[in-house]
Chain A
Amino acid sequence: MRVRAVLGSVFASAAILAIGWQFGSATAASLQGADAGPASTPTPGPSSTPGSSSTPGSSPIPAPGTSSAPSPSPSAPQSGTFTGAVESTRYGNVQVQITVANGAITDVKALQLTDDGGRSVQISNRAAPILRSEVLKAQSAHVSSVSGATYTTDGYLSSLQSALDKAGL
C-alpha cells in the first residue's frame, strides 16, 4: 500500500512539473517571438518609473503627434521627439522616447520600464538613469549593459535603436 502512495506521488509530481515546464517553454517562446513583432501603439500610461527622466513631474508627452516628419533623409539634421518601439521582456515592456535637436540626442525618456514585481521596478529605477547618461554621452545605442539589469538594458537599447531609426540618426 505504501508503494501506491510512492507511485502516486511520483507520477502526480512528474505530471505537474511537466505541465509547468511546458508553460514555461511556451512563455519563453512567445517572448522571443514578441521581440521581432511590430511595435504596438505607444502607451504613454503612467509607467512607474520615478527617476527615469531628468525632468521630474513632466506630464506624458503626446508622443504620436510629435513624432511626425518621418521622411528619412539621412543628411538633414533632425529635430523633435521620437518614440521607440515597445520591447517585450520577461519582466515587462520597455519603451523609450528621445528628444533630438539638430541631429543630437538631448534627452532620453523611458515611457515604460520593466515592472514585473517590486524587485523588477527597483532594478529599472537603478538602471534607467545610468542608461540615459551613457546614451547621451555615446550619442548612440552602443553602450555597455548595466550589470544586474540585462533585460532592462536590452529592452531599453532596442527601443532606443528603433527611435534612432525613426529620427534617421
Chain B
Amino acid sequence: MVGVTGNTMSTARHPSSGGAHDRAHDYRRRLRRSDMLVTLFWASLAAAVAMFLAYGGTARFTSLGDSVTNIGIIAGLVGTDLILVMIVLAARIPFIDSTIGHDRAIAVHRALGKPALYLLLAHAVLLVTGYGISSGYNPVAEIGPLLAIPDMPLAFVGLGLLIIVVVTSLVAVRRKFSYEGWHLVHLLSYIAVLVAVPHQLSVGGIFAGGSVERAYWITLYVLAFGSIGTFRFAEPLLSSIRHRLRVRSVDQIAPGVVSITLSGRRLRSLHSAGGQFFVWRFWTGRTWWHSHPISLSSVPTDDTARITVRDLGNGSNAISRVPVGTRVWLEGPYGVFTDAGRTAPKLAVMVAGIGITPVRAFLEDSNIRPGEATILLRASSQDETYLWDEVLTLAKSKGATVYIMVGKRSTGPRGWMPASDAERGVTLRSIFPDLDDSDLYICGPTAWLDLVEAEARADGLPEHQLHMERFDW
C-alpha cells in the first residue's frame, strides 16, 4: 500500500497562507528580490568593464593593435563574469531558488552559455590578433609566443574544455547523451573555469597584486565556488546524513511507474512544500554514481516520504529496481511549484502523465477553499492514470472541480488535448472560465506543456500567474 500520508499535517504548516493580502505581499517581495537580482547581474557586468576603464582603458585605444587587444580584454572580462553568474545560477542557492525558481534560474543559466562562450572565444581570437598586429606577426604565428607566457597554456586548456562543455549542452547534441554522461562532461566546466584563473591574474595588469580589482575578482570566484560547495555538496551531504533515508518499499502502480516509499527521521524539518522536488541518489552498485530530480508525490510525514517515478531512461529504470533497505541521499527541497507562488484568487491546475506527482503533493499541501480550484487531468491511455484516484479523493475533500481527458493527442496547437475534445472546440478558457483570475499550474512532459503554455500566453495570461514544472532534464 503506497498511500501513507494524511491530509491533516499540511494545513498546520502554513497558518498564514491563503489570505489574499499575504499572497499579494509575498508576491511583491519576490518581485523586489527579483529586480534586485537583475540589477546585481547588470551591475556585475558593468563592474567588469569598469575595471578595464579604471586601468586606464580609454587612453589605450591609440593604435589598431591596442584597440583590438583592448576589445579582446573587455570580452574576456565580461565573458568570465557571465561564467561566474552561470555558476551562481546553477548552485541552487535558496535565495535565488525561492525568488525566481530553480527552473528559471537554469533557463537563464542555459541562455548565458552561448554568449559566454562566444565572448571568451572572441577574447582569445582578438588578443591573438591584437598581439599579432602589435608585434608584426600573423595571428597564428602569435600563438607560439603567447603560449610562452606563463599560465597561458592552462588558459588554452580551459577554453578547450569550455568549448566541449557548451557544445555538449546544445540541445541537438545533448539529446545524444544520457543525462549521466552529459552531467559528467558538464563537471569539466569547474576545471575549465579554474584553470583560466592564473592567466587572468598574471598576464595582464588589471588584476595586479594587491589591487582592489584583484580582491574583487577573487571574491567573485570565492562566492561562485563557495555557493556550489555549500549548496551542491556540503549541505546535501549533511542533510543526507541527518535524515538517514532508506528505501522501505517499491510498489508498481502502473506499467513502468513505481512509487518508492522511504523511511528516515526528522523529515518534517526539511520544510518541503507540496510540489517541490529533491535530487535523489540511491546507493546501489548500479545507481550510486548518478542522481535524479524527482518530486515528492505526497507530503512527507516525519519518518516517511514517497516519490513516484516513471521509467524515462536507463537511470530511472534502474531506480525502479532498487532493493528495499537501499541507503538514499537527497538534495533539496527545490522548486517553486508550490502554494507559496500563487498570486491570483483562483487556482487552475493542468497535469499530464508523470506530472501528476508534484501536483498530488501540491494539492495535499494547498489551502484551497471549496470552489476555488479546477483541475484537469490528462492521459493518453488508461495506463497513465496512476495516482488519479488519490487526486480525485483529495479534490473531493477540498471541494475542487476535476476534469479528465483521456485519449490520443490531437495535432497542431490543440495537440495538448485528445482529438475528440479538439473537435468539440474545447479550449483552455472553456475548461477554466475564470482563467484571468487564476494561477495556472501546469505540470507534465515538455512537448505537451509547451503547447499549453503557448495557448495560455496567447490568451493573455500574465507571467506571474503561470507556474510550470517540466518533466525533462
Contacts and interface: CB of A to CB of B under 8 A. Distances in A.
Interface of A: 1-2, 4-5, 8-10, 12-14, 16-17, 19-21, 23-25, 27-28, 31, 90-92, 116-123, 126, 147-150
Given A4-B35, A116-B208, A28 B43 contact: no
Given A117-B202, A118-B202, A120-B205, A12 B42 contact: yes
10 contacts: A1-B31, A17-B50, A19-B54, A27-B55, A90-B205, A116-B208, A117-B205, A123-B135, A147-B135, A148-B134
Contacts of B57: 24
Interface of B: 31, 34-36, 38-39, 41-43, 45-47, 49-60, 63, 65, 131, 133-136, 145, 148-152, 199, 202-205, 208
A20 B42 contact: no
B56 A118 contact: no
A150 B62 CA distance: 11
B49 A9 contact: no
A126 B39 contact: no
Given A17-B49, A148-B136, 15 more contacts: A8-B35, A14-B46, A16-B46, A19-B50, A20-B47, A20-B50, A21-B50, A21-B53, A23-B53, A24-B53, A24-B57, A25-B58, A90-B56, A117-B203, A121-B149
A127 B213 CA distance: 29
Contact of B59 (A1, A23, A28, A92): A28
Given A5-B39, A119-B149, A24 B56 contact: yes
A16 B151 contact: no
A20 B52 contact: yes
Mostly, the B contact residues are: helix
A149 B63 CA distance: 12
Contacts of B203: 117-119
Given A4-B35, A20-B53, A24-B53, A119 B43 contact: no
Ranked nearest first, the 3 interchain pairs of A and B with the lowest CB-CB distance are A20-B50, A148-B134, A13-B46
Given A118-B203, A147-B136, A24 B39 contact: no
B71 to A, nearest CB: 16
Contact of B56 (A5, A8, A10, A28): A28
Given A16-B46, A24-B59, A148-B134, A118 B39 contact: no
Contacts of A5: 34-35, 38-39
A49 B59 CA distance: 26
Contacts of B149: 118-119, 121-122
B451 to A, nearest CB: 26
A19 B43 CA distance: 12
Contacts of A12: 39, 42-43, 46
A119 B59 contact: no
Contacts of A123: 135
Contacts of B49: 17, 20
A147 B134 CA distance: 6
Nearest to A13: B46
Contacts of B35: 1-2, 4-5, 8
Given A24-B57, A122-B149, A117 B204 contact: yes
Contacts of A122: 145, 148-149
Contacts of B65: 148
A16 B47 contact: yes
A39 B313 CA distance: 73
B46 A118 contact: no
Contact of A118 (B38, B58, B60, B152): B152
A119 B50 CA distance: 21
B54 A20 contact: yes
Contacts of A117: 202-205, 208
A16 B50 contact: yes
Given A117-B202, A147-B136, A9 B43 contact: yes
Nearest to B149: A118
B42 A24 contact: no
Nearest to A114: B205
Most B CB contacts (10 A, CB to CB) among A5, A31, A92 go to: A5
Given A16-B50, A20-B51, A126 B135 contact: yes
Contact of A13 (B42, B150, B202, B205): B42
Contacts of B47: 16, 20
B78 to A, nearest CB: 12
A126 B137 CA distance: 13
Contacts of A13: 42-43, 45-46
Contacts of B52: 20
A17 B74 CA distance: 13
A13 B48 CA distance: 10
Most B CB contacts (10 A, CB to CB) among A121, A148, A149 go to: A148
B185 to A, nearest CB: 30
A35 B59 CA distance: 16
Contacts of A2: 35
Contacts of B208: 116-117
Contacts of A4: 35
B39 A9 contact: yes
B54 A27 contact: yes
Contact of B131 (A21, A90, A119): A119
A22 to B, nearest CB: 8
